[in-house]
């Protein structure tokens, strides 16, 4: 079958990879937009704790009920996706010769009050059922024994194993290289129109291409693209910013998680992630976001303010209201599918989504 995938973010590339593994023909067309989410994400893979910066968009009742934990509707997908990453890392590293540095970093979940601490304590058996360790850290003293710079205002915390981090830019590069090796054609062009009756697409270069199956993984641009064939999908753009700090002598050995994530990445910089602005579709970095991230980080580690901000990025997530992805055939038996809506955890979902796309397109499950 002639499969065309629109988009070379993690959803499009993982879908292409899964199809190629089944021996299918795949062409990936990507618009080469600057600063796509896939290249700029924090790169955190976490089955148990919610996304970095996601508190601001989850419904308040879910924040109150689950505290720092991932909402229930996301838990199964999160864990299965997490396991897929472990399965694929060595395989793709060997195939592509590109190392996207998947590594474990212990998380200290910061609790600012008794309620958050109880929520984490109550989740112990759930966390351990995934094979992760969790140790409760009672009061400032116990937390500061691990990371001495934490704020004296915190109530306590928990030390949780299992959080993985990867270098997102290298991850995309590795996926691209892997699908190329497996025989995919990759075209730098923009898909402008889909003719669902003739099963053809028209590109910006005026080229017309035919497909048997069309998989649309155009990130936050997906909604607009499918609106051209009269389909409305329930998703929206959600802008996110990250700041990067030079560590000086600050020895950060953990991923500190609370109102944001603070972590030393494989580039040697301390990343603070992320802001979340619904229905924003621009790539402007702002002082407002920088200050929000610094304030959130300083509430956990006050001395973070003394470090120099040497980088700031902005990109746009393809988000959905319930935080769950959209993987479906948009018009029955049309051969046109969408795979999108990764929101703040699309990197983590990627391999799982690839498998779903394969099942939907080939096996028609």
Ligand X SMILES: Cc1cc2nc3c(=O)[nH]c(=O)nc-3n(C[C@H](O)[C@H](O)[C@H](O)COP(=O)(O)OP(=O)(O)OC[C@H]3O[C@@H](n4cnc5c(N)ncnc54)[C@H](O)[C@@H]3O)c2cc1C
Q: Which residues bind ligand X (CB under 6 A)?
A: 6-12, 29-33, 36-38, 41-44, 190-191, 217-221, 225, 240, 242, 273-274, 315, 317-318, 340, 342-348
Three state DSSP letters for 41-78: CCCEECCCECCCCHHHCCCHHHHHHHCCECCHHHHHHH
CB of 318 to ligand X, least distance (A): 5
CA dist 323 and 164 (Å) reads: 20
Distances from the Cα of 163 to the Cαs of 92, 96, 179, in angstroms?
20, 24, 27
CB of 170 to ligand X, least distance (A): 14
Backbone angles phi, psi at 267, to 5 degrees: -85, 0
CB of 339 to ligand X, least distance (A): 7
Q: Which is nearer to ligand X, 117 or 211 (CB)?
A: 211
* Residues linked to residue 69 through DSSP beta bridges, in sequence order: 49
CA dist 308 and 250 (Å) reads: 12
In the bound state, the residue with its beta carbon closest to ligand X is: 346
* Angle ∠(82,349,34) on CA atoms, nearest 5: 130
CB of 23 to ligand X, least distance (A): 23
Q: Which is nearer to ligand X, 137 or 179 (CB)?
A: 179
Distances from the Cα of 146 to the Cαs of 134, 254, 285, in angstroms?
14, 9, 33
Q: Give the N- to C-terminal CA distance of the chain in Å, as an integer.
A: 17
Q: Which is nearer to ligand X, 30 or 211 (CB)?
A: 30
SS3 percent helix, strand, coil of the chain, rounded to 5, is 40, 25, 35
CB of 120 to ligand X, least distance (A): 20
Q: Are 194 and 228 in contact (CB under 8 A)?
A: yes
CB of 85 to ligand X, least distance (A): 9
CB of 344 to ligand X, least distance (A): 5
For 280-295, give the DSSP string: -------HHHHHHHHH
Q: Which is nearer to ligand X, 7 or 156 (CB)?
A: 7
* Residues linked to residue 187 through DSSP beta bridges, in sequence order: 29
CA dist 315 and 36 (Å) reads: 6
Q: Which is nearer to ligand X, 33 or 70 (CB)?
A: 33
Q: Are 303 and 250 in contact (CB under 8 A)?
A: yes
Q: Are 53 and 240 in contact (CB under 8 A)?
A: yes
CB of 220 to ligand X, least distance (A): 6
Q: Which is nearer to ligand X, 67 or 219 (CB)?
A: 219
Place of tokens 């769950």: 324
CB of 15 to ligand X, least distance (A): 9
Q: Which is nearer to ligand X, 108 or 190 (CB)?
A: 190
3-state secondary structure of 346: helix
Q: Which is nearer to ligand X, 157 or 318 (CB)?
A: 318
- Segment holding 10, helix H or strand E: helix 10-21
């Amino acid at each position: 079958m002639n499969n065309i995938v629109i988009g070379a973010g993690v959803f499009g590339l993982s879908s292409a990879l899964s199809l190629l593994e089944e021996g299918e023909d795949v062409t990936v067309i990507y618009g080469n937009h600057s600063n796509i989410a896939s290249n700029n994400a924090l790169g955190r893979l976490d089955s148990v704790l919610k996304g970095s910066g996601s508190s601001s968009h989850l419904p308040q009742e879910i924040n109150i009920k689950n505290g720092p934990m991932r909402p229930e509707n996301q838990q199964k997908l999160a864990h299965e996706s997490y396991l897929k990453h472990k399965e694929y890392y060595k395989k793709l590293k060997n195939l592509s010769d590109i190392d996207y540095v998947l590594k474990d970093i212990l998380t200290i979940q910061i609790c600012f009050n008794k309620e958050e601490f109880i929520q984490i304590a109550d989740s112990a058996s759930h966390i351990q059922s995934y094979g992760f360790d969790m140790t409760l850290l009672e009061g400032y003293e116990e937390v500061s024994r691990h990371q001495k710079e934490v704020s004296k205002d915190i109530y306590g915390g928990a030390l949780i194993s299992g959080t993985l981090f990867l270098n997102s830019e290298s991850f995309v590069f590795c996926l691209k290289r892997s699908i190329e090796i497996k025989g995919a054609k990759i075209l730098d062009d923009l898909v402008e129109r889909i003719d669902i009756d003739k099963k053809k697409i028209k590109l910006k270069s005026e080229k017309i291409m035919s497909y048997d199956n069309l998989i649309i993984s155009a990130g936050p641009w997906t909604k607009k693209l499918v609106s051209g064939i009269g389909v409305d999908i329930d998703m929206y753009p959600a802008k996110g910013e990250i700041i990067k700090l030079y560590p000086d002598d600050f020895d950060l050995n953990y991923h500190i998680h609370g109102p944001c994530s603070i972590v030393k990445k494989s580039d040697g910089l301390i990343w603070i992630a992320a802001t979340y602005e619904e229905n924003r579709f621009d790539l402007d970095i702002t002082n407002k976001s920088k200050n929000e991230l610094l304030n959130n980080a300083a509430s956990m580690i006050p001395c973070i303010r003394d470090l120099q901000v040497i980088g700031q990025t902005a990109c746009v997530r393809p988000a959905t209201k319930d935080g769950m992805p959209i993987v479906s055939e948009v018009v029955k038996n049309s051969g046109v599918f969408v795979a999108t809506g990764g929101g703040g955890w699309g990197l983590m979902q990627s391999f799982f989504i690839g498998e779903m796309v394969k099942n939907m397109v080939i096996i028609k499950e």
